[in-house]
Every structure is written in C-alpha cells, then in structure tokens.
Structure 1
Amino acid sequence: MFITIEGIDGSGKTTLVNSLRKIFDNIHFTREPTDKFQLANLKTLSTPFNSFYNFFLFTYDRLEHQDEINGFKNVICDRYLASSIAYEGPMIEELFGDKKETVLWMLEVSKMLKLPDMIIYLDAHLDVALERIRNSRKNLNFRGKQLSILEEKEGLKAIQDYYEYFLGNIEMFTKKQIKIERINANSPMEDVLYKAKNIINKTIEK
C-alpha cells in the first residue's frame, strides 16, 4: 500500500508525518525531495521556464526514488507527484495556456512512475497556513526569495487551486482509482493525527 501525504506549506504535513513515524513501525516512511536531491540546483526565481526546469529535477529525483518505494509492502511518502503538479503547475501553465493541458503534460512526463493507492490531503485555510508559516520562521520566503504577506498568500492560493483541481479530477487524469482522504488541517494537530491514524489503520496491508 503506497500512501502519500500532501498539503500546502503551513498545513502541518511534516508535523503529522513525524508523529505517524512514532506510531507505525510496520510502515516504511520516506519523503520528497529525497536526501539525494541537490537543492542548490533549483532555480529560485519564479518564472515559467524555471518551473519547467525544476519540474524535471523533481521528476528525476522521483525516478531514482522508485526502488525504495517499490521495496516495501507499506509506504508513506511525505510529498510526491501531486506536490510537483501543485507547486510547479501554476507557472508552467503560462507556457501551455491551459490548466488541463498543463496537468496532462506533467503526468505524461511522469508516466513511468508508480502512482499512490491513496492520498491523504491536509486541507488548510490559507490564513491558518500563513499564520503557521509566520510562527515557524522569521521571514516569508519561497526558494530563497523574500516575499510579502500578500505575495505569500497569492502564491499559496495558486498552489492550493492546483491541488484542488488535480485531486478533484484525479481519476480522469490518471485513469486509476486513487482514494483521496481529506482531513481538516485547521483542527488541532492531535485531531488531525487521530483521523490520519484511523485512515491508515483501515488501509495498510497487515
């Protein structure tokens, strides 16, 4: 069973995954980008061509990740393909001019990759996510670029819109029945953890 956990920055995703690691010793936990990924190679300036370039970097890292993902019966991955679609899609769309064509192209490039059986999506309100981001770091930034609060909110909104579009049409895009489990990430972390734990317990292979 291959489960990925997704959500915008500030949704509590990494906190949740770290808590789940302490509960499930029969699940292999991994994340993307992997430890092999060279963050220094990322293009930090937000432009369509830089997002295009970054998407290929993440896809190559994901391709190298396949042996690890396929090597265990139960795997939970902190971010996966949906993250690339959500984070790189808004800028790449400026090259294609259409959201659907953008997602279809990104999936075509990724067609050699294993798709998850389930995606747990942490659904956070933008203001809640921004407040958490502000509390967790002094400066608002994206890949090294200093952002104003307005820029950060606009960026998160574009990412969230792509998540919603892709997850809402995932069967049409992937031709696979991928179960989507949404958790209200505005709730306290103990509530989010309780719901995620129950979902996983009902899903993983014993």
Structure 2
Amino acid sequence: MYITIEGIDGAGKSTQIELLKTHFKNAVFTKEPGGTKIGQNLREIALNENLSELARAFLFLSDRAEHIESIIKPALKEKKLIISDRSLISGMAYSELSSLELNLLATQNILPQKIILLLLDAENLKKRLSFKTLDKIENQGTEKLLHIQQRLKEKAYLLKEKFECEILELNAKESIEDLHQKIIAFIECVVSLA
C-alpha cells in the first residue's frame, strides 16, 4: 500500500511522519523530492541553481522517476506499507509545467492509493512560518503558499476522480495528537483491508 502525506511547508507533514515511524515500524518511509541519493543531488540542483522553470520541472520529474524505480516499486513488490512525505501531487502543485501526463510517465502510472492532505488557513500558516527559517519558496509569501495549497488540493482530487485514490483531508491547525490519531486510524483501516 502506497500512502502519501501532502501539504505545504508548515502544515506538519514532517512532524506526523516522525510520529508514524514509531507506530508503523515495518513501513518504508520515504520522501519526494530527494528520497534517493540521486534524488538528493537532483533536488539540490533544482532548488539552488539558477535554472529555467522547465529545466527545474524536468529535474523533479527525474527525481520522481528514480524514486519510483528505486524505492516504491521494490517496496510494493514486497507488499510493504509505504508512507511518503510528498509525491507527484506536490510536483504538479508547485510547478505549473509539471503536468499529469508527464508525472504518469515518470511514475510509470504507479500512484499513491491513499492521500493524506494537511491544510492550513492563512493565520495559522503565518504563525508557523514565523518560527522557522524560510526557504526560497516560503519567502514568496503566504499568498503564494496558499495558492500552492489550493493546487495541492485540486491535484489530489484530480487523482481521486481519475484513479479512485482515497483522500483523508485534515485541518492542520488541529492538535498534533488529534491529527496523529486520525492519520493512524486511516492508515490502519486501509492496511487491514489490503
């Protein structure tokens, strides 16, 4: 079972992933971009070099293709639970040039079956960003991040519509523990059915 946790920076994905590691000890935990050694290098180039948006989009697609081939496919073959911090959904949301068609090619049509979507309102986003050092994307402001969040939601529901992926949509302003319990229940439900 391939599950992804999606949300903009500050939504709490990393916190929830760390908590899930203690609960699902046999799961494969990974991330996009940068889930493989090659992917880490591609991510560094994409985020830190002065590139055209098209070149950046193709670097992230290359990372995605390598991630599917090296991490996701072998874990699925072994019938492992896979929990990924982001997926093609983020790729399509963060880049206007990263289409569904290109992502299906990069992923060999291997998609997350279950999507956990952490959503933030403007007030809580501003509050959370005030506590951290901002990266290049976060420095573009809360309006830009909220636009990306809307695209994340649209892309997640596009996958649901076209490929019947299941979505758990959560308000990320809930307590860490409440979110964690809802996520565990969602994963345990789908894992027990698999």
Question: Following the alignment from structure 1 to structure 2, what is the Cα–Cα distance between the partners of residues 40 and 70?
Answer: 24
Using a 3 Å threshold, how does the CA distance of structure 1 residues 70 and 110 change in structure 2: closer, same or farther?
Answer: closer
- Gaps in structure 1 of 5+ consecutive residues: 93-101
Q: Which runs of 4+ in 1 moved over 4 A?
A: 43-46
- Out of 61, 70, 74, the residue aligned to residue 71 of structure 1 is 74
Q: In the TM superposition, what is the alpha-carbon distance from 1:155 to its structure 2 partner?
A: 1.4
Shift of 1:176: 1.2
Amino acid at match of 1:69: I
Selected match of 1:118 from 114, 117, 134: 114
What's the CA shift for 1:35? 4.0
Q: Alignment length, in residue pairs? A: 184
1:19 is displaced (CA, Å) by 0.6
Q: Distance in 2 between matches of 1:57 and 1:113?
A: 18
| Aligned with residue 164 of structure 1, among 142, 153, 159 | 153
Shift of residue 104, structure 1, vs aligned partner: 4.1
RMSD: 2.4
Equivalent residue letter for 1:7: G
TM-score (normalizing by structure 2): 0.83
Letter in 2 for 1:181: L
Whole-Å separation in 2 of the counterparts to 1:27 and 1:202 = 15
Equivalent position to 1:56, from 39, 55, 58: 58
Secondary structure at the counterpart of residue 83 of structure 2: strand
Where do residues 138-153 of structure 1 align in structure 2 (5 Å cutoff)? 140-142=134-136, 147=139, 151-153=140-142
Which residue of 2 is the match for residue 180 of structure 1?
Answer: 167
TM-score (norm 1): 0.79
Cα gap change, 1:78 to 1:116, in 2 (>3 Å)? same
Identity %: 30
Alpha carbons of 1:104 and 1:22: their partners in 2 closer, same or farther (altered >3 Å)? closer
Stretches of structure 2 that go unaligned for 5 or more consecutive residues are none
Tell me how far 1:45 sits from its aligned partner: 8.1
SS of equivalent residue, structure 1 residue 187: coil
| 1:97 aligned residue | none
Q: Please give the alpha-carbon distance, in whole angstroms, between the structure 2 residues aligned to 1:160 and 1:186.
A: 14
For 2:147 and 2:24, how far apart are their aligned partners in 1? 33
